[in-house]
Structure 1
Amino acid sequence: MVDELRQVLTGRLVTPDDPDWDEVRRGWNRSVDSHPLAVVEAADATDVEQTVAYAAAHGLKVAAQAVGHGTTPALDGTIVVRTGALDELTVDVPERVVRLGAGVTWGAVQTALDGTGLTGLPGSTGNISAVGFCTSGGFSWFARPFGSGAASLRAVELVDGTGVRRWVDDTLDADLMWALRGGGGNFGVVTSAEVELHPAPAITGGRLMFPIGQSEAVLTAYGRATRDAAEHVTLWAYLMHYPDSPALPEDMRGQSYCMVDAMTPYQPEALEGVLATIRVAGTPVSDVVGPLQPSGVGEMNSVPAPPQALSLITSTFDELTPELIGTLLEYGREPSLLFQVQLRHLRASRDAGRPGVASADPSAQYMVLAVSIVPRPELQESAETALRSLKEALVPWSVGDMPPTGLSAWGSLRDCVSEPDLARLREIKRRVDPLGTLTGNFPLL
């Protein structure tokens, strides 16, 4: 059905007839058994134009993926465009902006920023596409001082639903930019973007690791520390159960810890002040905090991130009470199908920066993110049941909505976007994609 498309592409068209189809069709998250119609490994922006124009002419749908993150069941039956080869990267230090292709990861951006005194907004791993991160909201180590990734998106080059490639910024199409800042791939296939950079003259970060048996005291101290922390200080806490995997360092295999990660782009003395509160809550088995280059930020977790089967849930809350800590420990202290229960301290100032559907800071002070890594497919259902049970147990403390970046693969934009904003998104989509050719990871229904 799509063989004609092959003739006009510089890159590769992969279909079920190809021997490596089962590997190519699947995204990073192997818990989603994706079944697209075909996959286009675009060599350049022209390949993206040709693919969207072909799909529009033949009543097909197109979904964009950069490096495979974010796959959901919504990609079934679509032509998936992989934009990983669009890897141009230019840093303008005086203007504090990076111009990058859709396939550029945060790890590549951060490496290019070493020695500049600037940072982007990388999240928990450096192998995420910077463009996908920003168009999905994106909360990073530096969200507290600098806001979401969506708010740092200055302009994009995209292919709209008619197959036309164009440059968009707030002057040319403010409504479309508002939708792109958090609305994902529903409005165009982004081929390149301009993203704002931020001052980071003294990045300092690191990790405290405690025996899992000290979790209650450490999480209580973490709650006090986050209440006192300056806005430029970020603290994340974890209940972590490492699998007995040869991919991990030997001293981490099969071990469980309560951990606190800390980061600041400037004034490291403020970081030391809040960490002192946490250090005295237990006996750290590891305490490594020090200066970092931008390239070191995305590697804070120091855990390999190969494709794997993963499920998650998120929730929000405003205060880390003893009762909430007790609930988290009930579900997350002992090794189980829950690999990690993570707490992130968020900025909740409601300072939107550049306008966007996911640009504003969340109304909640904290986020819970619980993750299950499923070693065998037959455990998938049990893992999801455990996650849903935890999410239900967190309902008494839940406040506010999450941005799209916090959705599970089986979530919906209704979980994170208000009905008035959804109505505005649909109106913008009808204008830029009148045939409904484009599908995001979380479609507009």
Structure 2
Amino acid sequence: MIEELRESLAGRVVGPGDPDWESVRTAWNLSIDQLPLAVVEAAGPADVEHTVTFAAARGLRVAAQAGGHGATKSLNGTIVLRTNALDDIWVDSEARIARVGAGVRFGALQTALDGTGLTSLLGSTGDVSVVGFCLGGGLSWFSRPYGSGAGSLRAVELVDASGSRRWIDDTTDSDLMWALRGGGGNFGVVTSVEVELFEAPEITAGRLMFPIDQAEAVLTAYASATATAADHVTLWAYLTHFPDAPFMPEPIRGQSFCMIDAAAPFHPAALEAALAPIRAAGTAVVDSVAPQTSGSIAGITQEPDEPTACAVVPISFDSLTPELIGTLLKQVGGPSLVFQAQIRHLRASTEARHAGVAAVDPAAKYVLNGLAIVPTPELQQPAVAALHALKEALAPWASGKLPPSFLGAEDSLADSIGEQYLTRLREIKQKVDPTGVLVGNYPLA
């Protein structure tokens, strides 16, 4: 069967038994041991059409995956379509629209926007694909003023469950566009998208790093700052414990920090006003807040681009109280199996919300993501246990649904999207893919 598929494609098909099968089949999170039937490295949209048609005719399933972020076990037994080669970028700065292929990462798009005074709604790393991010919701540095990445979708080119490729937008298929904005890869294999671009004439961003013993004061100041910050100001807080390992740079090796990442696309004075009480709460050992280009903003968090084995647990809440801060510090204020606890300030302005979008802007005010690095399989279970202990400890403050892009491997779309929206998504799924050819990271049960 794999040989038959190989003969019909310009790209490469890799299956079990091929020399590089183990490396090709892996997701970005190496802890997710996905076991697809085969992996297709599409050379272009025609390969996507042929693969879906091939699968539909044989009762097989297809799942799109560019860089492998957000993977879950739902892709087991599917033909995984790698879309990295679909890397075209076209920008119309006057119309404030970019058209990008399914393989384009945010780092490349943002670099293409340098000098335009515009930005996309990129997330915390430039390594994530634009298409995957937007289909899965998309929590951006600039979601507070401009809404979710899903809401930035203006048109989509996709291959449907019958293998037909077409462009759609709100005027040609409003129901399917609604579903694509946060419903993931369950409705078609997207080969290209048009996304709205947003004004960013004076991007200012960077990181403050404080010794971990100043964390309580810094987080208290952070809570106050996020309560009053302007809508276009984004502040994220971290408790991070760098391992005492040879690959870590000497200044941070074996050290723990409380960190604040900050960004604003315009009016930097408002960002500085929000940071002033945080700076006053401790003695920063690093302060890199400075003017940025569209391209450089993708590197603020210094997240790794290379695949990593890790475990994550998210939780959302509405208030960052002294009691919550105390509980958080008790749980992960010192070195443990939890490498990092990150808090993101979410709530956007009312104007930024996109009515009718499946991935509605989050109702909660904050989301905390607990992260554990798992260098060996033996640490997976205790790391997950430590993360669940953190989640249980913070449960008294839990509130609202999770942003779709924060779902962990053990979560489902029901943890992000309400039952009314889920029912509508299932109805659209039944209409466009009644035989279940197409699979997303978080399928619709």
RMSD: 1.1
1:352 maps to which residue?
353
Q: TM-score, normalised by structure 2?
A: 0.98
Superposed displacement of residue 246, structure 1: 4.7
Instruction: Provide the residue aligned with 2:314 in structure 1.
Output: 314
User: Is the counterpart of residue 15 in structure 1 residue 15 in structure 2?
Assistant: yes
1: CA distance between counterparts of 2:2 and 2:435?
18
Which residue number in structure 1 is paired with residue 270 of structure 2?
A: 270
User: What does residue 328 of structure 2 align with?
Assistant: 328
Taking the aligned partners of 1:319 and 1:357, their CA distance within structure 2 comes to 25
Amino acid at match of 2:321: T
CA distance in 1, matches of 2:249, 2:116: 32
- Distance in 2 (CA, whole Å) between partners of 1:184 and 1:394 is 28
Partners of 1:386 and 1:326 in 2: CA distance:
17
My pick for the range that moved more, 386-395 or 241-250, is: 241-250
Equivalents in 1 of 2:117, 2:163: separation in Å? 39
The whole-number CA distance in structure 2 between the counterparts of 1:348 and 1:97 is 22
Tell me, yes or no, if the aligned pair for 2:84 and 2:103 is still in contact at 8 Å: yes
Once structures 1 and 2 are overlaid, which stretch shifts more, 86-95 or 1-10? 1-10
Residues 15 and 21 of structure 1 are in contact (CA less than 8 Å); yes or no, is this contact kept in structure 2?
A: yes
Counterpart residue number, 1:186: 186
One-letter amino acid of the counterpart of residue 141, structure 2:
W
The correspondence of residues 390-401 of structure 1 with structure 2, limited to 5 A, is 390-401=390-401
Q: State the alpha-carbon separation in 1 of the partners of residues 70 and 343 from structure 2.
A: 21
**Equivalent residue of 2:288, what SS?**
strand
Q: Deviations over 1:398-424 (max 9, x none)?
A: 111012211101211111111111111
| 8 A contact 2:145–2:348 mirrored in 1 | no
Conservation of the 8 A alpha-carbon contact between 1:90 and 1:99 = yes
Sort the Cα spacing of 1:247 and 1:43 in 2 relative to 1 into closer, same or farther, 3 A.
farther
Partner residue in 1 for 2:29: 29
Tell me the CA shift for residue 253 of structure 1: 2.0
Shift of 1:245: 4.2
- Distance in 2 separating the partners of 1:348 and 1:195: 19
2:443 maps to: 443
Where does the alignment leave 5 or more consecutive residues of structure 1 unmatched?
A: none
Q: What is residue 124 of structure 1 aligned with on the other side? A: 124
Q: Which residue of 1 aligns with 2:43?
A: 43
Task: String of CA shifts for 1:245-282, please: whole Å, max 9, x gaps.
Answer: 45443312222100111100000011111111001111
Q: What corresponds to 1:376 in structure 2?
A: 376
Please show how residues 73-88 of structure 1 align to structure 2 within 5 Å. Answer: 73-88=73-88
Percent of aligned pairs sharing the same letter: 61
Task: Quote the residue 1:227 is aligned against.
Answer: 227
Partner of 1:89: 89
Q: 1:338 to 1:105 in 2, by over 3 A?
A: same
Residue 254 of structure 1 corresponds to which residue in structure 2?
A: 254
The aligned runs of 1:398-413 (5 Å cut-off) are 398-413=398-413
Q: Say yes or no: does 1:160 pair with 2:160.
A: yes
Kept in 2, the 8 Å contact 1:97–1:195? The answer is yes
Q: Report the counterpart of residue 388 of structure 2 in structure 1.
A: 388
Moved more, 6-15 or 242-251: 242-251
For 1:60, the equivalent position in structure 2 comes to 60
User: Matched residue of 2:208: which SS?
Assistant: strand
What amino acid is aligned across from residue 108 of structure 2 in structure 1? A
2 CA distance for matches of 1:138 and 1:303?
17
Q: SS of the counterpart of 1:273?
A: helix
Opposite residue 178 of structure 2, the aligned amino acid is W
Equivalenced residues, count: 444
For residues 361 and 131 of structure 1, the distance between their equivalents in structure 2, rounded to whole angstroms, comes to 18
Q: Does 1:238 align with 2:238?
A: yes
Deviation at 1:67, TM superposition (A): 1.2
**Residues 305-343 of structure 1, C-alpha deviation per residue, up to 9 Å, x if partnerless?**
311111111111111101100111112111111111011
Alpha-carbon distance between aligned partners in 1 of 2:277 and 2:62, rounded to the nearest angstrom: 50
Matches for 1:130-145 after TM superposition, within 5 Å? 130-145=130-145
Query: 1:200 and 1:354 mapped to 2: Cα distance?
Result: 24
The 2-side partners of 1:106 and 1:248 are apart by 26
1:89-131 Cα distance to aligned partner (Å, 9 max, x none): 0111000011000000000000001111000111111100011
